[in-house]
Amino acid sequence: MGFSMIAGAAFRALTARKDGPSLYDVCDPVLLKYRGGDPHLGKFYRTALGNPALRPLLRRTGHPALRDEKRLGALREALVRARDDAEPDWAAVGQPIAELMADIDVRHPSPPHVKAPPQAPAAAEIDRVIRRCGAHLLGSFSKNGFLPTYAAFNLIGDADMGGREMLMALTGLNSRGYKNSTLLFSLARIFIAHSPARALINPPWQGIAEPMWEPVQIRHRSAYYDAFFTEALLSYLETGLASKEETAVSRRAIDEMVDFCLKTSAEEVPSHDGSTVRVITALAPLPHPRFSRFFAQIKQDLGFGIYVPDCDTTACSFSAATQAGSTDPILDQPLLDFYRGYQVREGANEPRVTVPLNDNIDYEGGVVTWIDNIKGERPYGNDLDPTLNLDILEVSFRNLKRWKILETPQRLETVHRIIGFQRRLAESGAFADPRSHIYYLPELYSAYFGRCHAAFMALPDAARRAIDPDGAFEFIRGKVLDYVEGELITREMNPFDAALALMALAHLGADVSTFAPALNCIVAQFGEGGRHGPYRAYEWNKMKTPTRILVGGPEVTSAFVLMGLALARRVMKKT
């Protein structure tokens, strides 16, 4: 979005003709100043929605439906109940807002089809990009002492979050602060959708993964990111393109990131058999997440103070450490015993999924996301994401002998049921539907299935037959390849989409001729990141509640591009 478009959108928002009460007309009388009740609701309103940057853009945006005094009164009364009731009826509180969300009209991107390029770029061009991405990661590590990732808010919200899903979140989340933020962000979405500021807050983009708007990015560190960056640097070393100095820096960075995952970010939690297990938390205690002082306070004010461990961060951290050759005793814990307690069994513990935003899929056999901490806290309730379950399979394959999975019927059954969950996703085609995913894109699911499939194929034949006697992996492989070859690479892509496509194609044994669209996209857009790195920041993962929060960064894009190119390069050298 160029300067003239930004200026035009801002001018139209600042001079719009007001047609009904605005967000601030609705909320100021109730939430700007008050005594008693829940203080967080007002603090969140003033910090996130009533701040000096957003207020001018939305103050002239009214909603015609609220000219009806009865509807306006019902909406304000709902906010009063959220503010003052000790135990609000959240379904009733959210209902007036859910009704107004019907015409937000936020849709998933649908890039146009494009003509396939005649040939792939030269090998020297591919090597040049790999070296530059590797240098970017190592330079950032040397500068910051870690590899940063960023979070950014998109206030228009997620296309899969309608009024129905908002009510699911309000009734399924456990933290009152998180309910407050979901309620108010949902209300703000209604006015943003009707404002000229919408074009400023949510401009169009190229491809599927959303670019992250630079001015509103919160830098932080997490074990989940360090695990991913560990794999990226291992990939760089495997190419043989790293210099002697870069190799030494890579080894040091890998050791430090594995240590951050397994030691700094580890915490003890109760297991379902009465024992305790050491798992990996989403955000380690301060100062380890490396927030600036300003954003650390903002995070607290917005109600995101408590973070609990999650099954995905734990699986990815264990996998990266295993690949890096770690011998830390924490890796000896057979995680499948623990995950079994978080696995959904139809009719038995399906209520474990308290925020079923993707209830279009069958949860049976899947493992939920969030882990109760030692105090029993679960602020986000629980949800279930397909890609997370691929990561559990992948780490299990890498630790098949260590965890004695084939020798332990209960552990093997847990694996079989996760595979069954994944097969049903492929059979229904739901893996390609963005609504099926809580934290990721279908494109990333495809890339991570390729990663999981590669770990599966590295096992001995007998082990593969015991794990997958019905050929589910080959069936899913065909469905994912059909999607990537027939849909993803036939449309306009950005470099992040292209990197994910390459990871899937190379891991799943696609013909090298199919690499050309993604390779050309990556090489052609090299340098788009300007002073921040070879590429821009794109959406890696997201939170659909309390609003659409994207996570990614220039370093993340460099890492995915590096891994995608390294995989493609290895396959191309064999042909």
Tokens (6 digits) for 292:
């600036």
Q: What share of the chain is helix, strand, coil (3-state, %, to 5)?
A: 60, 5, 35
Grade residue 6 by pLDDT with cuts at 50, 70 and 90.
Answer: low
Mean pLDDT computed over 317-329 = 98
Mean pLDDT computed over 555-575 = 96
543: enclosing H helix or E strand: strand 541-543
CA 462/CA 78 separation, integer angstroms: 60
Angstrom CA distances, 183 to 91, 98, 167, stand at: 11, 10, 9
Q: What is the DSSP letter of 150?
A: E
CA 518/CA 409 separation, integer angstroms: 42
Exposure on the CB side of residue 417, measured as CA atoms within 13 A? 21
Grade residue 514 by pLDDT with cuts at 50, 70 and 90.
Answer: very high
Mean pLDDT computed over 154-171 = 96
Mean pLDDT computed over 393-401 = 98
When mean pLDDT is compared across 52-56, 212-216, 235-239, 468-472, the lowest value belongs to: 212-216
Q: pLDDT tens across 35-88, in order?
A: 999 999 999 999 889 988 899 889 889 999 999 999 999 999 999 999 999 999
Q: How far is CA 333 from the centre of its chain?
A: 26
- The residues, any chain, with a CB within 8 Å of residue 499's CB and separated by 6 or more, are 447, 518, 522, 557, 560, 561, 563, 564, 565
Domains along the chain? 3-110+175-199 (no CATH), 126-153+202-295+308-574 (1.50.10.20)
Q: pLDDT tens across 348-377, in order?
A: 545 689 999 999 999 999 999 999 988 888
Mean pLDDT computed over 293-322 = 78
CB 110 within 8 A of CB 434: no
Tokens (6 digits) for 527:
């340098």
- Mean pLDDT score of the chain, rounded to an integer? 93
Grade residue 196 by pLDDT with cuts at 50, 70 and 90.
Answer: confident
Tokens (6 digits) for 480:
């994912």
pLDDT above 60 for 10 = yes
pLDDT above 70 for 565 = yes
When mean pLDDT is compared across 5-9, 104-108, 218-222, 541-545, the lowest value belongs to: 5-9
CA 487/CA 204 separation, integer angstroms: 20
Going by C-alpha positions, the residue among 112, 82, 250 that lies closest to residue 177 is 82
pTM equals 0.94
Grade residue 9 by pLDDT with cuts at 50, 70 and 90.
Answer: low
**So what's the pLDDT on residue 312?**
97
Grade residue 553 by pLDDT with cuts at 50, 70 and 90.
Answer: very high
The residue behind tokens 């847990």 is: 414
Dihedral Cα 435, 188, 79, 29, nearest 10 deg: 180
CA 6/CA 192 separation, integer angstroms: 15
Dihedral Cα 550, 556, 561, 562, nearest 10 deg: -160
Going by C-alpha positions, the residue among 542, 547, 495 that lies closest to residue 150 is 542
Q: Which residues face 154 on adjacent strands? A: 548
